[in-house]
Amino acid sequence: MTTPTTPRRAGPTGLLTEEEARLRTSIYLQQRIDYQDSYYQRRMAEFSFNSDKMLWVSAALMGFSTILSSYSVLSNKAIYALITALLPAFAAAVSAFRSLYQWQRQAAVYEDSWLALQQARLAMPDEDFLSPDDYARHFPQLVQRTEEVLRAEASQWGQVEQGTSSDTTPGPAAAGQPAAPPSPRRRSNP
């Protein structure tokens, strides 16, 4: 005894049925976009924390140096004068370390990518506003926009390395390759 099979009805793109598109959309949102979203947020928090911590350490060293220099004048001891002279050097070393790692710039790259990812997520309307055949139509747009964001973020790291190594190295546009799409928000470098 054979059971009658219902023919698969492909969506407007002809590639996926509506049920497949709905399932793939759900998986893609959870496994690709939500994961990348949380990754960007963790990296932004980490780099901002590191940058802020080094700034506070440098400021604390300078503040302590100021207080100690006032005390060294009153106490007239050579050790306080020596420490007063060394503390600003340590503060400058911490500041140089902060500039070397460029945590603010890295956090800005991740923040720009996070904002672009949120914009790409808008390619898929809210489930409350989707008609029955909309998943198959919107899923390819969601994937395309998301992957463009991820490619742009990956290409930004090459630009960061080129910007820190030398200005004579040709960038992607100079080498005949297409340039990365602009980020939704520009920041000035610290």
Assessment of whether the complete model's pTM goes beyond 0.75? no
Per-residue tens of pLDDT for the chain, all 190 residues: 555 444 445 544 567 788 888 889 889 999 999 999 999 999 999 999 999 999 999 999 999 999 998 888 888 888 988 998 999 999 999 999 998 989 999 999 999 999 999 999 988 888 777 776 788 888 899 999 999 999 999 888 876 555 555 444 444 444 444 444 444 454 444 4
| CA nearest neighbour of 71 among 88, 59, 84, 62 | 84
CA 140 from chain centre, in angstroms, equals 24
Task: Quickly count: other Cβ atoms within 10 Å of residue 33's Cβ.
Answer: 20
Predicted local distance difference test score (pLDDT) of residue 11: 47
What is the predicted pLDDT for the residue at 135? 84
Would you tell me the crossing angle of helices 35-75 and 103-121 to the nearest 10 degrees?
150
Sketch the domain layout of the chain as residue ranges.
Answer: 18-159
Measure CA of the first residue to CA of the last residue in the chain; give whole Å.
74
